[in-house]
Amino acid sequence: MPDSDGDAIRAALRYRLDRFRREQLGEEVEPEEQQREATDADRALAAELAIQQAMRRGDFDNLPGAGKPLPGLGDGRHDPDWWLRRKIEREQLRGLGPAAYLLRTEDAALTERLDALTRADEVRAVIEDFNARILEARRQLLGGPPVITQPRDVDAELAAWEQRRTARAAERMPPPEQEPKRRRRRFRDASPFGRRSSTI
């Protein structure tokens, strides 16, 4: 009689494995073979049996993401710490994680942050600070994922910011109003019948 839950589970799996061997493979299971320690092949077969039974019961039906590719696998880049990045994104954690991830997420949102600024000197200060933090992160030897975020060209970013700003201003301005067309008035004859007269 098994003493713990783990022994009971092992005994149940061993029973199912022996039954599978008898029914599917046609093997004869000897009593002393039941007492031996399970091998890796037995464990793999037990795992496969459990998966097959779960599939038959429908435990894997209607799972989120079923039939869809795994996100982040088809973009051509290999990120060894994909799990950490995905956890930070899923939990929407801010200010946590290695500098490489923080700079990468800040780089993705930097254009929107710059568009919220109103003066060119503020934009220049933000870009210079961002570039300084990238260089500092590349110099540190603490380990972690490599910093692949590239510094931004200050002058090019200022020019792009100015273009976006003028485009937004042009969108906000109403179109110039055209002078209304003058309507030609037609004079009616003062006749009692209200007919139009061709002569005035």
pLDDT tens per residue across span 83-102: 777 787 788 777 777 788 78
Arithmetic mean of pLDDT, 15-23: 79
Q: Is residue 184 over pLDDT 70?
A: no
Q: What is the pLDDT of residue 130?
A: 93
Whole-number Å distance between alpha carbons of 13 and 43: 9
3-state secondary structure 22-33: HHHHCCCCCHHH
Say if residue 193's pLDDT is above 60. Answer: no
Give the C-alpha distances (Å, rounded to integers) separating 17 from 29, 49, 54, 192.
10, 8, 15, 111
What's the full length of the chain, in residues? 200
| Distance of alpha carbon 131 from alpha carbon 152, whole angstroms | 7
- 3-state SS of 6-23 is HHHHHHHHHHHHHHHHHH
Q: What global pTM score does this model have?
A: 0.45
139-183 pLDDT tens trace: 887 677 788 889 999 999 999 999 999 988 888 877 667 666 666
Q: What is the pLDDT of residue 157?
A: 92
pLDDT, tens digit, 9 for 90 and up, residues 102-141: 888 888 888 898 888 889 999 999 999 999 998 888 888 7
Express each pLDDT in 33-85 by its tens digit. 455 677 888 888 889 999 999 989 988 888 887 788 776 666 666 777 777 77
Q: Which residues are CB-contacts of 22 (< 8 A; sequence separation ≥ 6)?
A: 28, 29
User: Confidence band (pLDDT; 50, 70, 90) for 2?
Assistant: very low
Torsions phi, psi for 196 (to 5 deg): -80, 145
